[in-house]
Amino acid sequence: MRLDKYVADAMGLTRSEARELIKRGGVTMDGEPAMAPAAHVDCQEVLYKGETLKPKGLVYLMMNKPAGVLSVTEDKNQRTVMDLLPDSYRRSGLFPAGRLDKDSEGFLLLTNDGMLAHEILSPKKKVGKTYEVGLARELDDEKIYILENGVDIGGYVTSPCTVEKLGPRAARITITEGKYHQVKRMFKAVGNRVDALKRVSFAGLELDGSLAPGEYRELCTKELDKILRTIQ
Ligand code: URA
């Protein structure tokens, strides 16, 4: 995103007001003075007179969901991913774009952008999701071949996917669908059982390895652009 648009969105200014403000000085990108309205904002931190600037309104969080919480906005009895967020985020109308089972971990996107969530979850978009799984039994090449070419998970045959063996009982699987309990049902269909499941990539973005389970951070502009390109 151009710096003048970024500053305009963050400060509620018109583009020309933002351009004037930038040219007058006081805006920095990652600590360096930024005087060019056409400069490109990727993941830099943008400040005006020392205050962090962030475009208002839409929020996109990457969370490393821990096992043991539900990926829904509310539940009467059980803890949800919303319980891991401070009030400021809970008030912005965030919801999980997609689901991970209660016992699953990894990349969960939380947003209040209904349009983006709709697109990302649309089966037509075939958005890629990569999971690392721990398995109860050894995985051989024949089972990998069957999984990659489609298995019947109970009245539905899965689309082609990729499976990479990480160890005798560990694999990485990338699917472009999102059927209920899909990965667990796929391994069950080849006589195996998923004992641990972590989503490591979603919509073209890798889970940030520095996020401990339960931690989250906002996506930067570059990451959001990457998602937008995936769903174009
Ligand atoms: N597939 C599953 O079976 N569980 C998840 O949480 C995600 C994908």
Here the CATH number for the domain that contains residue 161 is 3.30.70.1560
pLDDT in tens, 34-88: 999 999 987 788 999 988 887 777 899 999 999 999 999 999 999 999 999 998 8
Same domain, 114 and 79: yes
Pairing between β-strand 60-65 and β-strand 216-218 as defined by DSSP bridges:
antiparallel
Burial of 69 (0-12, 13-18, 19+ CB in 10 A): buried
Closest ligand 1 atom to Cα of 101: 6
CA of 115 to the centre of ligand 1 (A): 23
- One domain for residues 142 and 198: yes
Question: For the chain, what percent of residues have pLDDT higher than 70?
Answer: 100
Q: What's the burial of 96, exposed, middle or buried (CB within 10 Å: 0-12/13-18/19+)?
A: buried
104 C-beta closer than 6 A to ligand 1: yes
> Which of 63, 69, 71, 99 has most ligand 1 atoms within 8 Å of CB, for mutation?
99
Same domain, residue pair 142 and 94: no
Flag whether pLDDT at 11 surpasses 90.
no
Q: What is the CA angle 130-134-137, rounded to 5?
A: 125
Q: Are residues 102 and 143 in the same domain?
A: no
Cα–Cα distances in angstroms (integers) from residue 170 to residues 134, 164, 167, 181, in the given order: 5, 9, 5, 18
CATH of the domain at 9: 3.10.290.10
161 CA → ligand 1 middle, Å: 15
DSSP 50: T
CATH code at 114?
A: 3.30.70.580
The Å distance, Cα 24 to ligand 1 centre, comes to: 52
Q: How far apart are CA 60 and CA 220, in angstroms?
A: 9
C-beta of residue 183 within 8 angstroms of C-beta of residue 158: no
DSSP string of 85-103?
S-HHHHTTT-EESS---TT
Quote the crossing angle between the two packed helices 3-11 and 15-24, to the nearest 10°: 110
Are 16 and 117 within one domain?
Answer: no
Whether residues 44 and 77 share a domain: the answer is no
Residue 181 in contact with ligand 1 by CB distance below 6 A? yes
What is the total count of domains within the chain? 3
- Examine the domain organization and report whether 38 and 96 are in the same domain: no
**Cβ of residue 197 lying under 6 Å from some atom of ligand 1:** yes
Indicate if 114 and 81 belong to the same structural domain.
yes
Structure tokens that stand for 211 in this block: 């996020």
Range of the domain at 18: 3-52
Q: Place 12 in a pLDDT band, splitting at 50, 70 and 90.
A: confident
pLDDT digits (tens, 9 = 90+) for 97-133: 999 999 999 999 999 998 899 999 999 999 999 999 9
pLDDT at 45: 85
Contact 81, 229 (CB under 8 A): no
Is ligand 1 within 6 A of the CB of residue 175? Answer: no
Domain co-membership, 132 together with 115: no
Check whether residue 181 and residue 217 sit in a common domain. Answer: no
For residues 151 and 197, state if they share a domain.
yes
Do residues 77 and 168 both lie within one domain?
no
* CA–CA–CA angle 40, 45, 50 (5° rounding): 120
Ligand 1 centroid–CA 34 distance in Å is 44
